[in-house]
Amino acid sequence: MDLQYGLELVGTFVFAISGALAIREQEHDMFGAGFTGFITAIGGGTLRDILLDSYPLVWIGDVNFLYSILVGVLAAFTFPKFLSKLRRTFFLFDTLGIAFFTVLGVEKALSLGVRPEIAAIMGMFSAVMGGVIRDTLTNTLPILFRKEVYASACLAGAIFYLILNSFNVPRDINLLVSIVVIIAIRMLSMKYKLSLPRLD
């Protein structure tokens, strides 16, 4: 459990960095960058918890998440060029992050007593809605609506977790396997430029 808590803080930190760096091309100041880092890091979990009426919100009840974000934003301010060069590393971290937060989101929703169908949506929301809210606020079309396999990988992984869960696969194994499934879908679809069909 301590490992999980540590990973949550690290995930929040990474999301804050990638959020702060995401608006580099637009006109903005450091405050705007910090704000988007913050929104990216807390947006998904906040939306999930509001929809499920689960209070206090994680970052309001536990101030450590706020400090993870602050450190992430300060890192983005201090080493923007260095961190931007790490784009490939970040893609890896971001993929790891959305996989991890998807599965934790599914578990949290289940623990609040909702049906699996709802838990799957909540898992995906936890992972991707922070970025969606950030993109919407900064007048950008969210990645979700672009061709990349992104949110759909999370949804697939969430459903995968729920299926294994219904077969009583032990939690630790399920957690690991489902995270790997999400990462694999995302990585392979990027590598082979796969995308879901369009609607026309």
Query: What residues make contact with a copy of itself under the rule CB under 8 A?
Result: 20-21, 23-24, 26-33, 35-36, 46, 50-53, 55-57, 60, 63, 66, 76-77, 80, 114-115, 117-118, 132, 136-142, 144-147, 151-152, 155, 195-200
Nearer to a copy of itself, 171 or 195 (CB): 195
Written as six digits, the tokens of 70 are: 């602050």
Shortest separation between residue 98's beta carbon and a copy of itself, angstroms: 14
Q: Are 156 and 181 in contact (CB under 8 A)?
A: yes
The residue among 165 and 175 lying less far from a copy of itself, judged by its C-beta, is 165
CA 42 to each of CA 65, 116, 146, 189: distance values in angstroms, whole numbers, following the listed order: 9, 23, 22, 27
| CB nearer to a copy of itself: pick between 175 and 182 | 182
C-beta of 28 vs 187, nearer to a copy of itself: 28
Residues 6+ apart with CB under 8 A from 42: 12, 57, 58, 59, 65, 69, 130
In whole angstroms, how close is the CB of 170 to a copy of itself at the nearest point?
Answer: 27
- Least distance from a copy of itself to the Cβ atom of residue 77, Å: 6
Round to whole Å and give the CA distance between 156 and 87: 25
- Nearest by Cα to 151 from 186, 110, 106, 100: 186
Question: How many Cβ atoms are within 10 Å of 81's Cβ, its own excluded?
Answer: 7
Minimal distance, residue 121 CB to a copy of itself, in Å: 8
Question: Measured from the CB of residue 47, what is the shortest distance to a copy of itself in angstroms?
Answer: 10
Is the Cβ of residue 67 or residue 171 nearer to a copy of itself in the bound state?
A: 67
Query: What is the spatial distance between Cα 38 and Cα 54, in angstroms, rounded to a whole number?
Result: 20
